[in-house]
Amino acid sequence: MRKKELWLFLAKLAAAIIVLGYGWTLWRFSYPDVFEPIYRPFFSLVGLKKWWMALLLDHFTNWVPFVALVLASPDLVTRWKRSLAVLFGGLAIILCGHVLLSCAVDELVARYTMTKMYYKLSLPLFFVNDSLPFVLWLLFYPELPGRLFGVKFLAKSSAA
């Protein structure tokens, strides 16, 4: 049973990543225009000088694996309320991460321009941002790694 469920999960994950990834390639240059009205008040509040899209846009793709993981997760339809809450909650966290990453990159560019120190300090921020979808999926679905892969992550122990 677990093997069949795992293969179904992987097939749905691959299909979702292909469809969402292709959609992102078509839509990615519209992302700043769509979300700037949401971000602008916060950016002006914190004094963001420039939104460094050339440095950031490729890292804003992290919503794709998150949505794909949620859509591929077992019980998507039967637990649709939870799935919607996870989807919208996770996307809100990811968008907040984009805002924070934008502010951090602006500050690092202002201090260090494109020097070795900028790259040394920004790289860990990009790694955290890029891994956020997987961390969120594990936090929202702690039982699934054990169910799909036979590995316990944060799931409650059955030993009493």
Asked if residue 76 lies in contact with residue 25, where contact means CB atoms within 8 angstroms, the answer is: no
Q: What is the pLDDT of residue 156?
A: 57
Closest CA to 5 of 139, 134, 146, 142: 146
For residue 83, which amino acid is it? S
User: Which tops the pLDDT comparison, 38 or 74?
Assistant: 74
State mean pLDDT over 102-127: 95
Say if residue 109's pLDDT is above 90: yes
For residue range 49-104, list pLDDT tens digits in order.
Answer: 788 988 999 999 999 999 999 999 999 999 999 999 999 999 999 999 999 999 99
Q: What is the pLDDT of residue 19?
A: 97
Name the 3-class secondary structure at 131: helix
Q: What is the pLDDT of residue 160?
A: 43
CA angle, corner 138, sides to 147 and 14, nearest 5?
Answer: 75
d(CA 112, CA 109): 5
Give the pTM. Answer: 0.86
d(CA 48, CA 21): 29
- Structure tokens that stand for 60 in this block: 């804003």
Q: What is the pLDDT of residue 45?
A: 87
> What does the domain layout of the chain look like in residue ranges?
2-149
